[in-house]
Amino acid sequence: MSKPQYVLAIDNGTTSTRAIVFDHAGSKCGTGQLETTQIFPKSGWVEHDPREIWTNTVKVIELALKEAGLDAADIAAVGITNQRETTVMWDKSTGIPVYNAIVWQDTRTQSIIDEVAEQGLSVPNVNRFKDKTGLPLATYFAASKIVWILNNVPGARERAETGELAFGTIDTWLLWNLTGGINGGKHITDVTNASRTLLMNLETLSWDEELLDAFQIPRELLPTIASSSEIYGTSVSPLLGVPVSGILGDQQAATFGQAAFESGEAKNTYGTGNFLIFNTGEEIVHSQNGLLTTVAYKLGDGQAHYALEGSIAVTGSLIQWLRDNLGIISSASEVETLALSVPDNGGAYFVPAFSGLFAPHWRPDARGAIVGLTRFVNKAHIARAALEAVAFQTREVLDATNADTGVALTEVRVDGGMIANELLMQFQADLLGVPVIRPVVAETTALGAAYAAGLAVGFWANTDELRGLWQEEKRWLPQIDDEERAKLLRVWNKAVEKSLNWIDEDSVQL
Ligand code: ADP
């Protein structure tokens, strides 16, 4: 029998699960995709059904194989990439989750975070574990979600202590099921996902006793932490006999898919929110400017590579807001046509601080503001201001990155749904003052997971070979001078000022 010529990536995002088959050149050969049901039991609560995610995963694998005209025997390896931080807990003997998956956006655990920030301290400190984990104490990460399940599902804590239950992020849940579930499924996560739990020490890359104590999380619950590229186990149907050999959290996978393997390389993803990841190589860089520190990847026994991450909450979702809440466009792509119908923003600036401002400000007291309005401003100017806001926020995160690393980025590789927008890409290049580059394969997240899996089985030889596969599709060069850029940024900063200090005892949050 000839050697299998393809690698399959499973990409579980927040809104859907996809499977994509790639060939040796890194080109797409088949795709399957199914939406995930979003469950909102209460304000601020966001859940997924882990069983739906698993059954959808099986279906999308079958769809992708069918579209590519292949079967399991043609697949050399399977990789997994996933929405990060989303937390699942299940019974190891039945495979049944004890509760729905608590999604990364869920904020129900604020009181758990507050307690840990206060423990034994005269002044609460959300940064008390930042040196160890690279993260502030926040509901975003997995630890407080685990605690919530242990405290609120009857019997969960006792069953966790006796080793009956397993915790995992979605990568772990999928791997356990793919490798046999109750019949010997592997209970493993990779370093990138573990680095988003608030429980892993960035230096030792292992679960940390002090952190487990602070959150009162039993060690027995936790998966083994493995590298991002090694054979974790062998898949059951529908990929019977295929090695499962790559795991990366979604933003890290996009970085890998963009071939940003080395220190000083970066990518920026424009999706629901924006995530800029700057590879700092083998060095752990602690941000002084509002960025997170995270693991970028670790290949087998190799050294871990680290990254700084700038997370922006509202970018693509602002375009959805123009469509769904204002109704001034009927599809996301229409925003470009509308914005192009005017030559500039007409003086309007839009700060989309819908849930406060994330990186680099971290200001929960901020709220959305449209400023500079006159009788002249119309909906096209608002559309333009919305697109510009995406680029301005990215500029802020890039400035924070440059300040933290002392290295000025010389170009930015982009991916995600919004990069179809050429007006945005040009304005982004103008504001950054460096080229913005779009790759041929826009599905860099799935591609990164495929790369990690393929490397582990020798399908690809090394990262140099992968670097050779990366292909530029288009680049935008800055077209304004420094003076013009400085003016734009100064006005944007004024607009940001206007959005701050909004939430107080009188402006009650609805
Ligand atoms: P995610 O992975 O977070 O679900 P995607 O990378 O699929 O996001 O990108 C989807 C986002 O991109 C949506 O929020 C949508 O509003 C936005 N988007 C899609 N096409 C365009 C466009 N042509 N112009 C501006 N925004 C767009």
State the pTM of this model. Answer: 0.90
Of 96-100, 106-110, 183-187, 469-473, the range with the lowest mean pLDDT is 106-110
How far apart are the CA of 320 and the centre of ligand 1, in A? 8
Q: Report which of 321, 357, 289 is spatially closest to residue 495, judged by C-alpha positions.
A: 357
Atom of ligand 1 nearest to the CA of 416: 6
pLDDT for 510 equals 44
Q: Report which of 80, 81, 73 is spatially closest to residue 241, judged by C-alpha positions.
A: 73
Task: Please indicate whether residue 110 or residue 491 has the higher confidence score (pLDDT).
Answer: 491
**Per-residue model confidence as pLDDT tens digits over 216-225:** 999 999 999 9
Contact 417 CB / ligand 1 (< 6 Å): yes
**Per-residue model confidence as pLDDT tens digits over 276-310:** 999 999 999 999 999 999 999 999 999 999 999 99
Contact 55 CB / ligand 1 (< 6 Å): no
How far the first Cα of the chain sits from its last, in Å, is 63
In degrees, to the nearest 5, what angle opens at C-alpha 399 toward C-alphas 369 and 501?
A: 30
Contact 420 CB / ligand 1 (< 6 Å): yes
pLDDT for 106 equals 82
Contact 352 CB / ligand 1 (< 6 Å): no
How far apart are the CA of 501 and the centre of ligand 1, in A? 29
pLDDT for 1 equals 55
Q: Give 430's pLDDT tier (boundaries 50, 70, 90).
A: very high
Contact 38 CB / ligand 1 (< 6 Å): no
**Per-residue model confidence as pLDDT tens digits over 324-339:** 889 999 999 999 999 9
Query: H helices within 38-106, ranges in order?
Result: 50-68
For a mutational test of ligand 1's pocket, the pick from 105, 319, 414, i.e. the residue with the most ligand atoms closer than 8 A to its C-beta, is 319
Question: What does the radius of gyration of the chain's CA atoms come to, in whole angstroms?
Answer: 22
Burial of 411 (0-12, 13-18, 19+ CB in 10 A): middle
Contact 317 CB / ligand 1 (< 6 Å): yes
Atom of ligand 1 nearest to the CA of 273: 3
How far apart are the CA of 290 and the centre of ligand 1, in A? 25
**Per-residue model confidence as pLDDT tens digits over 386-420:** 999 999 999 999 999 999 988 888 889 999 889 99
